[in-house]
Structure 1
Amino acid sequence: MNHFRLRPGLRTGRVVTGALTAMLLMGGAVFAQQQSPMLDGMDLPPVAERLPSNPLVVTPVDSIGTYGGTWRSALRGGLDNAWIARTVAYDGLVRYDREWKQIVPNLAESWEVSDDSKTYTFKLRDGLKWNNGKPFTSADIAFAAELFSEPTYGAGTFMKNPNNPVKVEVVDDITFKLVFEKPNGVIMDDLASVNGLTVVSLSKDYCSQFYPKYNPNAAEEAKAAGFETWELWMGNRCSWATETIRFANPDLPFMNAWMIEEPLTGDASRATFVRNPYYWKVDTEGNQLPYIDRLDMRVSDSLEELTLMALNGEIDYQDRHIATVANQPLFFDGQEAGDYRLGENIPSNMNTLILQFNLNHVDPVRRELFQSKDFRIGVSHLIDRQEIIDVVFTGQGSPAQAAPRPESPFYDEEMSLQYTEFDPEAADAAFQAAGLGPKNGDGFYTMADGSPLVVTIDIISSFRSEWVDMMELLQLQLEAGGINIELNNIDRTLYYDKRPTGDYDAQIWQGDGGLDVIQEPRYYMASGDESVWAYRWAQWFNGSRPEIAEEPAEWAKQQMELMNQLRGEGDPAKRDDLMKQILVIAKENFPVIGVSLPGNGYYIAKNNMRNIAEPMLHAYLFPTPGPYDPFQWYFAE
């Protein structure tokens, strides 16, 4: 019996067999198994020998495609690898279907879950190969787990969770077990998300040469190669765990549809990918995927250049960076000249901007102020959300706090709308309750001791262009209400580096967790490093960075206990109930401030690019467009 995950409630199954694969194969051995003409004449085994015995059969969105062509898109700077993860690298053990309703087989053709949710047994497709032709086996999964057990290698994955360690037990070449110390009811969603890529991205055959356990000379060879330690050498060559150089090594074996040709480095002007001749998926007529031969990604720091490329028809498909509200009228008017079309993206984000005051500030006076719910309520009442919506988003969206989207079964209208009224009088009453002193001669509130209060808000203008307009309006609104604001526009590296120090007043980000509520609770509770409002509480919860971890407030500890129960619960209905309890506490304590519920987004696609779904659900954990199978996109002749 199969149980599938429903997107809104984020449900996962207890036992999954190979039934879906069997239905899709439809007698796969009789397929013609055609290959791209670009592979003809290469010194390769026949396509039938390059595929596993049971290749994954993918039904095209609209039609069987034709081979050839280069998909052109763009990256914003040499560290913009998220677009690559979303287009090239979404191929884990399992994956989400196109409707975000089911977790379906991928590299693993089947899996079983023990009754206590501690042991997950996976069976890989027989005959899988890395892009260099070497076998992909259970030993590669075990090697990844072994490497991640090293203290200095990687972070932030389920494989390195001190609260619930995991072991990999190899049964045979295609069968292995993930054995957790405690029940793990959410692991299938972890594996199906963009984060599931890590466990299948380290080839033992290739990466073991940098590891002293398998190469006793690794430390010496690392120094000869210019690295002080083997860990640095390993990170440079097998860099899946290293965000900044993840796609910088063309020799790193891949299991994806396209493999690195020109790497993404800090000074690259472009990154390119070429088809993987050992890719393990076929269409319903037996043609080996992908259809498109190459991907060419222009690297530029200039948003204007990327926008002009799209208007000139030099981008075949993209949404990241360029599909802004400000650009939408330009792109709409330029469709005929640029020979492209606009498709609809439905966002999973629940807010256009989240303002996060630092409840763990190193300054005890500011910490006390920011921990005051009344202070946060006062700030919220000074925001004229409708003005921001009208000016920045041309009227698209509606006022909202950080709360699940209306489409989610976790939606709570009261939670979404609380304190969203523009009400300076209510703000003044809240500030008095928070203990602020009277306004000074400049019209700004003071601290309780009469000293000036100036709040600095960190922003990254290069990440989302509309944030500048939003924050300039928000600054004017707050200052008109008596809160003196300074905007600190910094680069993304410094933005993240400040978090462990605790020496910042506030930061902003987009409102993740609107549909993927259980997987992305960062604004509902102090769940991880992206919970900037309580970074040190999150370290206490996760057992990481003990040198800066701080014991949370009692209400936050209650949420953490509920989340620990949720993560160990195998029953989806019980998980949902536990999440609702976490949300009730979040609603009561109001940790962060939202601005507005986003309107629908869009993407740009050339008119001759086919098999692209519309609309698309748009998220990061559901790494759009990855779940819509870009390997079956093609250019019509």
Structure 2
Amino acid sequence: MTRTFMTTTAMLLLATTAARAACPAMTMADDQGIAPGAFPQQYDLAEYEAAAGCEMAFSENPEIADLNGAIQGNPDLPPLAERLPEEPLVVVPYEAVGTYGGTFDALSNATEAGTSDFLSVRHVNLVRYSDDLATIVPNVAKSWEWNDDFTELTVTLRKGHKWSDGAPFTSEDVRFYFENLALDPNIIEKPKDYVLAGGEPIEVEIVDDQTFTLKLAAPKPGLLAHFATSYAQPFQPAHFLGLYHPALADDADAKAQELGYENGYALINAYYGASDWTDTPTPMLRDPAQAEGLPYGTQPTLESHIYITDTTEGRKLVANPYFFQVDTTGQQLPYISRQDELYKNDNEVRILALVNGEVDYKSQSLQLPSAPILLENQEKGGYTIQLKPTIALPSFSFNVTSPDETKRALFNDVAFREAMSLAINRDELNEIAFFGLGTPQTYLGFSPVPDFAAEFVDAGTGYDPDTAMVALDGLGMVDADGDGFRDLPNGEKITLNLQFTTQGIGGEVVELVAQYWSDVGVATTVKEVTPDEYRAAQSANELDVQIWQQGTPVAIALGSSERFVPPYGSYFDHRVGMGWAEWIDSEGASGIEPPQYAMDMIADIDAFQQAVPGSAEAAEIGKRIAKNFADSYLFIGTVNAPAPIYVRNGLKNVPEFQTWSYEYYRTYPYRPTQWFLAEDN
């Protein structure tokens, strides 16, 4: 009996030891027989330990203390166990468990220009799309639950999650974002669509430190897709920014003034910026001398890396020592210690840097016309090019609220816009600018084109310059002075100045479209400008023609109506109806009254967002929206073609991308926190 008892005890001890063994190095390439979790390519900690039969031991980057020391204002680090959440997100690497260290070299155009590609590498949000671009998975949020009619979204955060300075991250940081930033007109003058539902502000009800409920005045099932794709993070560090918020702290202005700012709002703007754009210059760039006396060089973050320098030449970042993700062996992510972002505003200079293998990853601002030279030099430069479908369609739009009343009247005439569309030889454009790899397409608002809009995809894309010229004659655009080009109906000369930036469209496309329009008698000039110059002219309503890629997947349209209502985009898109937007915002007190088709689209996108996704009702509304775009020619689409994605061979665990797209927030679905740099690169 005694011997049997001892044998049984030994067996139990052995079984317990096996169950609590070190966690295996599971990867997507070698799952080691471990069952998938509730969501693809990741687990919650307890879920992974149960599936793998292990107890995870955590380890950290050996450089982490030095990296933390470079973060202005950060205290000395506590042990790793006190920095990770109680249940960190376990990320399954693609090919291999990575090694720590190295510097990720990035290339952007300039401060706030062409930076979203690099920003996406360190980005986090409540949720994200998995790399199938169809499945929404947890990220900062541990879980979520909708009520039956999509008017309440309850989100659970990870207990023990901390900001990059070690302060607790809680539901209060979400409430602070909504109530004290996004919905405070002193910070953001006009609320963004994604903090509204049914035109009313989204309310935040705090259940406890880890749980909150977003209460919506109308159904908005696409809100989760917004969180999965947007740069706008619905949480900000209340423990820091709240100290200077006049609505929250009586001494906010006095504290800000002690640090050299006019008031608390001015200090918040120095850190957060007067928008949701998360890549505005830090105080280190705004006033380097003053920044040295500030509590932090940049505000605390939940992202994988944080700024340590910010100059007009570029920025440097280091790994966040409190980041909430680990790999399957318990190594805290990210693997890569440092990130360096260099600014090069000239497209040819950027291409040369890529050809020379000076960059680890690049997608934004790369257009298909640059593909041949990049493909030709792959082996020599030590990189690989992925040619992937694009989501957005290179498009042209006429300024329907131009300050010039004669131009405005012409640009508002659908017959003019249709004629200019018919003048474009899209088949030739495809062959010359896109090497025959694209498909001529009209702009329908939704992209990729859903089934409910498929019947309109070719509307107005035929090449018919004779019909275009007859239409222009009928509009009174004749060559009154005999110089070979048409004049405005009142006899004034008109030359369409086509300003563009390679961040938004390929130069060859603009040159060809300019020639097609000249061929039907409308004079054009073409000028490449920097993204900042383009946006400044756009913001001042000075552009006759706006030129950029435009398009929105259905899932994202369900969460944000930005591209369906005037001015039809943000600072980073087309904003062709700024006067219409002013009229709507002022309830008719100022601006220019929109035509009926624009008002119809506003009503339709509101209804589309409130309908059950995939339902017959949603399809019917979506079809009306697509037809409205096709009939109005508000945006003139050209050719949908692939674009290049550049990956240096020394950067590991980078998968094949599904698309070249800003719409799914570039690298975010492909889990850059588990990318690593090979030791010999």
TM-score (norm 1): 0.87
Aligned: 1:360 with 2:401: yes
Contact 2:629 2:635 in 1 (8 A): no
| Equivalent in 142, 162, 171 of residue 138 of structure 1 | 171
Structure-to-structure mapping, 1:151-162, within 5 angstroms = 151-154=185-188, 155-156=191-192, 158-159=194-195
Contact 1:21 1:105 in 2 (8 A): no
Structure 1 residue 609, shift from structure 2 partner: 1.8
Distance 1:523 1:166, change over 3 A: closer
Aligned residue for 2:159? 126
| Aligned CA distance change for structure 1 residues 147 and 294 (closer, same or farther; 3 Å) | same
Q: Quick one: which amino acid aligns to residue 78 of structure 1?
A: T
Among residues 331, 354, 360, which one is paired with 1:287 in the alignment? 331
Q: Which amino acid letter does the alignment assign opposite residue 475 of structure 1?
A: A
Give 1:275-314 correspondences, 5 Å limit: 275-314=319-358
Q: Which amino acid aligns with 2:503?
A: F
Is the Cα–Cα contact under 8 Å of residues 45 and 89 in structure 2 kept in the other structure? Answer: no
Is the 2:85–2:158 contact (alpha carbons within 8 Å) kept by the matching residues of 1?
Answer: yes
Partner of 1:262: 309
Shift of 1:262: 1.7
CA RMSD of aligned residues (A): 3.0
After TM superposition, the structure 1 = structure 2 runs for residues 50-69 of structure 1, keeping only pairs within 5 Å, are 50-69=83-102
Give SS of 1:391's match.
helix
- Residue 36 of structure 1 is aligned with which of 61, 79, 82? 61
Partner Cα separation in structure 2 for residue 516 and residue 120 of structure 1: 17
Question: Which of the numbers 179, 186, 201 marks the counterpart of 1:165?
Answer: 201
8 Å contact from structure 2 (residues 45, 87) kept in 1: no
Q: Is the 8 A contact 2:495 2:525 kept in 1?
A: yes
Q: Is the 8 A contact 1:524 1:591 kept in 2?
A: no
SS class of match (1:616): coil
Change in CA separation of 1:362 and 1:307 when aligned onto 2, cut-off 3 Å: closer
1:593-636: CA deviations, max 9, x gaps? 122122x2222222232111113322223111121011101123
Corresponding position of 1:506 = 545
Q: Which residue does the alignment assign to 2:435?
A: 394
411-420 or 323-332, larger mean C-alpha shift: 411-420
Q: CA deviation at 1:477?
A: 2.2
Given candidates 280, 283, 294, the residue that maps to 1:246 is 280
The alignment's TM-score, normalised by the length of structure 2, stands at 0.82
Superposition pairs for residues 49-448 of structure 1, below 5 Å? 49-80=82-113, 81-89=115-123, 91-148=124-181, 149-154=183-188, 155-156=191-192, 158-159=194-195, 163-197=199-233, 199-200=234-235, 202-239=236-273, 241=275, 243=277, 246=280, 248-249=282-283, 250-263=297-310, 265=311, 267=312, 269-321=313-365, 323-349=366-392, 351=393, 353-403=394-444, 408-410=449-451, 412=453, 414-437=455-478, 440-448=481-489
Provide Cα deviations, 1:264-311, integer angstroms capped at 9, x if missing partner. Answer: x4x2x2311111111111112222111111111122333333322222
Superposed, 1:520-535 pairs within 5 Å as 526=566, 527-529=568-570, 530-535=573-578
**Structure 2 SS opposite 1:605:** strand
| Partner SS for 1:532 | coil
Residues 245-278 of structure 1 deviation map (CA, whole Å, 9 limit, x = unaligned): 6352533111011121223x4x2x2311111111
Structure 1 match to 2:499: 459
**Alpha-carbon contact 2:193-2:562 (below 8 Å) kept:** no
Give the paired residue count: 608
Contact kept, 8 Å, 1:236 with 1:245, in 2: the verdict is no
Residues 152, 75 of structure 1: alpha-carbon distance in 2 compared, 3 angstrom cutoff: same
- 2:175, 2:215 → 1: CA distance? 12
- Which one of 649, 652, 656 corresponds to residue 610 of structure 1? 652
In structure 2, what is the Cα distance between the partners aligned to 1:533 and 1:251? 34
Change (3 A) 1:476 1:22: closer
Verify the 8 A CA contact 2:97 2:327 in the aligned structure 1.
yes
Q: Does 1:578 align with 2:614?
A: no
| Equivalent in the alignment of 1:557 | 599
Structure 2 counterpart of 1:630:
672
Aligned to 2:522: 483
Q: How far apart, CA to CA, are the structure 2 residues paired with 1:517 and 1:120?
A: 17
Separation in structure 2 between the aligned mates of residue 245 and residue 619 of structure 1, nearest angstrom: 18
| Worse overlay, 369-378 or 330-339 | 330-339
Secondary structure at 2:200 match in 1:
coil
Question: Residues 299, 445 of structure 1: CA spacing in aligned structure 2 closer, same or farther, 3 A cutoff?
Answer: closer
Deviations, residues 61-112 of structure 1 (Å, cap 9, x unaligned):
22221222211111212223323321112x1111111111011111111112
Residue identity matched to 1:510: Q
Query: Do 1:87 and 1:626's aligned partners in 2 also have CA atoms closer than 8 Å?
Result: yes
Partners of 2:623 and 2:327 in 1: CA distance: 41
* Structure 1 residues 282 and 177: alpha-carbon distance in aligned structure 2, compared to 1, 3 A threshold: same
Letter in 2 for 1:597: N
Q: Is the 2:119–2:279 contact (alpha carbons within 8 Å) kept by the matching residues of 1?
A: no
Alpha-carbon deviation of 1:339? 1.8
Deviation by residue 1:540-559 (Cα, 9 ceiling, x = unmatched)? 55x47976444322222222
Q: Which sits farther off after the overlay, 271-280 or 403-412?
A: 403-412
The one-letter amino acid paired with 2:203 is K
Structure 2, unaligned runs of 5 or more:
1-37, 69-75, 284-296
Q: Kindly provide the amino acid, as one letter, of the partner of residue 377 in structure 2.
A: G
In 2, are the aligned partners of 1:522 and 1:531 still within 8 Å (CA)? no
Q: For residue 141 of structure 1, give the secondary structure of its aligned residue in structure 2.
A: helix
> Aligned residue for 1:13?
none
Match of 1:4 in 2: none
Give the match's secondary structure for 1:365. helix
Give the whole-Å Cα distance in 2 for the aligned partners of 1:83 and 1:359.
31
Question: Which structure is larger by alpha-carbon Rg, 1 or 2?
Answer: 2
Q: Structure 1 pair 500/635, CA: closer, same or farther in 2 (3 Å)? A: closer
C-alpha distance after superposition, 1:426-471 (max 9, x if no partner): 112222443434664123233334x03414344233535722x332
- 2 CA distance for matches of 1:584 and 1:500? 28
2 CA distance for matches of 1:597 and 1:571? 25
Task: State whether residues 150 and 219 of structure 2, in contact with CA within 8 Å, keep that contact through their aligned partners in structure 1.
Answer: yes
For residues 484-509 of structure 1, the C-alpha deviation after alignment (integer angstroms, 9 at most, x for no partner) is 22446555445445556655422111
1:521 offset after TM fit, Å?
Answer: 6.5
Letter of the structure 1 residue corresponding to residue 324 of structure 2: W
